[in-house]
Amino acid sequence: MVFRQQSGWSLQRALGAFGAVAGMVAGLITGLSGCASDKPKPTALEPLTAKVVVELLWQSRVDSVEFPLSVGARDDQFAVASTQGKITVMQSKSGQTAWSLDLGVPLQAALGFNGKRAAAITRDNDLVVAELGRVLWRHRLPSKSTTAPVVAGGRVFVMTVNRVVHAFDADSGHKLWTLDKPGDALTLAQAGVVSTFENSLLVGQGPRLTALDPDTGAVRWEAAIANPRGANEVERLADLVGPSSRSGEIVCARAFQSAVGCVNAKRGQLLWSRNSGGWQSVAGNGSVLVGADASDRMTGWKTQTGEALWNQEKLLYRKLSGFVMSPSSVAVGDSEGRVHWLDPVSGELIARAETDGSAIETPPVVMSGVLLVVTRKGGLFAFRAP
């Protein structure tokens, strides 16, 4: 079963339950449903004098995006997908369509993109890989996935909800290997961590960032970003939330409602971990890492040490998306379709822009100085990233 509690301040935003804990989670649903109407109201926005110029370069639209779908960015192109199954690849600076493909079936996870090929997963658990407007191959997965595939190094990597990792040949669709490690009874029903670092595949396995050999799936190292404690599986749930943030050799991620931490991916060594409740991804550069807790209180940490630099409370309870770091700012969307820019050094709000009034749930994406946000209504808004 899948447990979803829509209140941003709740202990669990989205859980997938497996095995004998189903009854326990069902009881929690009953207990939490009565307090849904008591959730805090979004903080009213204060008038803002922009400190930087934000320019809307272009806007477009895809079909509605009914749940967070990742945006691919590579080689000056954005790749987006709608829930109903249309894939569109467009030029980042102009919004001009390079190619598109309507798969004709709804999606549940998308979109992996390497500048040439795009990969998505349908609600029927079919992994579909396409190139230049045509389907190359399909493969039926054994279980559901809510994490966008990764297309890299001539392979396609997929992580299913139970955190099993699969690798496929990108040309033929032939399965190369599967990593199925014993895991926790509960896992998140939201996107996990799957990314690349040099010649390693980085995946989230519970609260651990794990490096795999992309050729064989063998584990190279593991680093625990959180050490969850609790009396039951719900309290101990601390899956890593995707996407992760990378700055050179440093990869940082959030462990669901538990901690934020950074790992030196070259050495497989945990650099630091700080207790931090929250459920959305973090973003940073070599100096500052930015994230928000479950009440949308934003914090900046030093990337190298985890020392807290600032806290920002002017966007409390606005159901923020994950963050993205622009050249000199950090951007985040909210549930009313606004994009907010902050100074990453001070945490000061420096700009704000409107879209179409519907929620921005997917972290914005930056490519070649262009920041793209996707709204729940399917609106695409490209800004020149300050």
Q: What is the mean pLDDT of the chain?
A: 88
Confidence of residue 183 (pLDDT cuts 50, 70, 90): low
Confidence of residue 37 (pLDDT cuts 50, 70, 90): low
Question: Could you report the per-residue pLDDT of 221-262, keeping only the tens digit for each?
Answer: 999 999 887 777 777 788 999 999 999 999 999 999 999 999
- pTM value is 0.88
Confidence of residue 23 (pLDDT cuts 50, 70, 90): very low
Residues with Cβ < 8 Å from 231, sequence gap 6 or more?
A: none
Question: Could you report the per-residue pLDDT of 102-160, keeping only the tens digit for each?
Answer: 999 999 999 999 999 999 999 999 999 999 999 999 999 999 999 999 999 999 999 99
Q: Are 263 and 223 in contact (CB under 8 A)?
A: yes
More confident residue, 367 or 8: 367
pLDDT above 70 as % of the chain: 88
More confident residue, 68 or 367: 367
Question: Could you report the per-residue pLDDT of 145-163, keeping only the tens digit for each?
Answer: 999 999 999 999 999 998 9
